[in-house]
């Protein structure tokens, strides 16, 4: 690459994470790897490691994403999670891509136009996104399915993973009600769980599939610290306060890196950046880094790491970020924006966003460099 700014992805860690999940939660037959948004910004090239780790089905948001997968892998089953148009369904059929049906009109169109396809029926159990919440319509689609329009799976999306929450219990109750006239044992795939529900309750007896999203990339449920009220009560009653540790031990695979492009000394009173957003309070040294908010939307005035030491950002432009450094920093030094020494969770907290949004903010003009089984491969967009 010419501009030394890129994301380094350790595919060995992704493969290891999936094996760890499957080992801890071995009761499922189908392990979906959710790779929407370019595999949560890790890149579709990650699917090879996922499959080697034990993923046997992939899930995406759009048909465009599914077709990208088909350029790399012709065999792995792929489910499009969003409902698609009739024309798109024809393309999906031609490329052996499974679609989602969540209304009777689309089901009728498939039958009337004799489009041979596999589909999963989406149930709206209470999140009020896609899905059916009318039992008669659910039964209509199930009964109208046949060998040509094959009902392979039924699923829903749970808005919360906390087993004892009212929302969770209501959604499970609604799913059971909407499917109570269906013999779920005769449906090939039934999937409700996802990464953030997997660790928090027992597997449901009628479910044989789980959708793994953020967990594959190294984000397990965090340790749960009891509330201050519970800790006080425990202290008053001489009970030990227990912090619930996550069951999974996963590793993040994503490191945003750049390099020092140039350094210069500035004097007290001199400004840096548009509008003089930084004014030196003393003689100091600055370094220019070749990335900006065009590469990373949530770029902020936080720290970066160079050779194990953190340095503060003082100016952010579209393509260049400036940091204040010391004499130990030289042109060409590697810089970690976040990922290993500065964790992704920490960086997300600093910018008041969740991990999903932080990762999604890395644009595709940033190349991905993959490390896998002692090999290195660069993907440019």
Span 250-278, pLDDT tens digits: 999 999 999 999 999 999 999 999 988 89
212 and 110 in a single domain? The answer is: yes
* Residue 230 covered by a domain: no
173 and 264 in a single domain? The answer is: no
Has residue 44 got a pLDDT over 50? yes
- Banded model confidence at residue 228, pLDDT cuts 50, 70, 90: low
**Cβ distance 41 to 292 under 8 Å?**
no
260 and 360 in a single domain? The answer is: yes
Higher pLDDT pick, 48 / 229: 48
Residues β-bridged to residue 369: 8, 378
Mean pLDDT for the stretch of residues 202-210: 93
55 and 97 in a single domain? The answer is: yes
20 and 166 in a single domain? The answer is: yes
Mean pLDDT for the stretch of residues 217-231: 65
Residue 220 is predicted with a pLDDT of 80
Q: How many folded domains does the chain comprise? A: 2
* Residue 240 covered by a domain: no
Angle made by CA atoms 336, 342, 344, in degrees to the nearest 5: 105
74 and 205 in a single domain? The answer is: yes
Task: Quick: pLDDT tens for 324-363.
Answer: 999 999 999 999 999 999 999 999 999 999 999 999 999 9
Q: Identify the CATH number of the domain in which residue 299 sits.
A: 2.40.37.10
Q: Among residues 173, 202, 221, which one ends one of the domains?
A: 221
211 and 92 in a single domain? The answer is: yes
Has residue 200 got a pLDDT over 90? no
Residue 243 is predicted with a pLDDT of 42
Residue 237 is predicted with a pLDDT of 65
Has residue 71 got a pLDDT over 80? yes
Instruction: Look at the block and give the residue holding tokens 């009560």.
Output: 233
- Banded model confidence at residue 15, pLDDT cuts 50, 70, 90: very high
Mean pLDDT of all residues in the chain? 92
* Residue 229 covered by a domain: no
* Residue 296 covered by a domain: yes
193 and 85 in a single domain? The answer is: yes
What is the domain range of residue 277? 254-379
Please indicate, yes or no, whether the overall pTM of this predicted structure exceeds 0.75: yes
168 and 279 in a single domain? The answer is: no
Cα dist from 86 to 63, 97, 129, 140, 220, whole Å: 12, 14, 20, 19, 38
**Cβ distance 152 to 146 under 8 Å?**
no
- CA dist 178 and 208 (Å) reads 18
Q: Identify the CATH number of the domain in which residue 215 sits.
A: 3.20.20.10
367 and 276 in a single domain? The answer is: yes
């Amino acid at each position: 690459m010419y501009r030394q700014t890129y994301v380094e992805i350790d595919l060995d860690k992704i493969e290891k994470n999936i094996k760890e999940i499957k080992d801890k939660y071995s009761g499922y037959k189908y392990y979906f790897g959710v790779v929407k948004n370019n595999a949560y910004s890790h890149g579709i090239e990650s699917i090879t490691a996922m499959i080697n780790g034990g993923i046997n089905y992939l899930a995406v948001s759009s048909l465009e994403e599914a077709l990208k997968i088909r350029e790399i892998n012709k065999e792995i089953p792929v489910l499009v999670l969003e409902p698609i148009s009739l024309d798109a369904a024809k393309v999906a059929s031609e490329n052996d891509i499974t679609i989602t049906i969540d209304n009777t009109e689309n089901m009728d169109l498939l039958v009337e136009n004799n489009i041979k396809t596999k589909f999963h029926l989406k149930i709206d159990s209470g999140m009020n996104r896609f899905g059916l919440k009318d039992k008669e319509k659910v039964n209509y689609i199930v009964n109208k399915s046949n060998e040509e329009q094959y009902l392979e799976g039924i699923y829903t999306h749970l808005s919360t993973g906390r087993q004892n929450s009212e929302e969770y219990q209501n959604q499970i109750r609604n799913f059971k009600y909407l499917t109570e006239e269906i013999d779920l044992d005769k449906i090939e795939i039934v999937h409700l769980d996802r990464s953030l529900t997997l660790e928090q309750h027992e597997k449901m007896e009628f479910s044989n599939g789980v959708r793994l999203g953020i967990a594959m990339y190294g984000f397990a449920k965090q340790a749960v610290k009891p509330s201050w009220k519970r800790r006080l009560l425990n202290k008053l009653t001489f009970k030990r306060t227990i912090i619930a540790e996550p069951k999974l031990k996963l590793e993040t695979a994503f490191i945003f890196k750049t390099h020092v492009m140039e350094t210069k000394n500035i004097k007290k009173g001199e400004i840096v950046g548009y509008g003089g957003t930084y004014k030196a309070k003393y003689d100091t040294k600055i370094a220019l880094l070749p990335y900006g908010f065009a590469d990373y939307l949530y770029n902020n005035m936080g720290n970066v790491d160079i050779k194990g030491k953190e340095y503060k950002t003082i100016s952010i432009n579209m393509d260049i970020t400036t940091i204040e450094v010391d004499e130990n920093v030289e042109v060409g030094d590697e810089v970690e924006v976040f990922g290993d020494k500065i964790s992704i969770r920490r960086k997300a907290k600093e910018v008041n966003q969740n991990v999903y949004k932080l990762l999604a903010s890395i644009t595709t003009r940033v190349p991905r460099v993959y490390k896998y089984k002692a090999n290195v491969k660069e993907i440019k967009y």
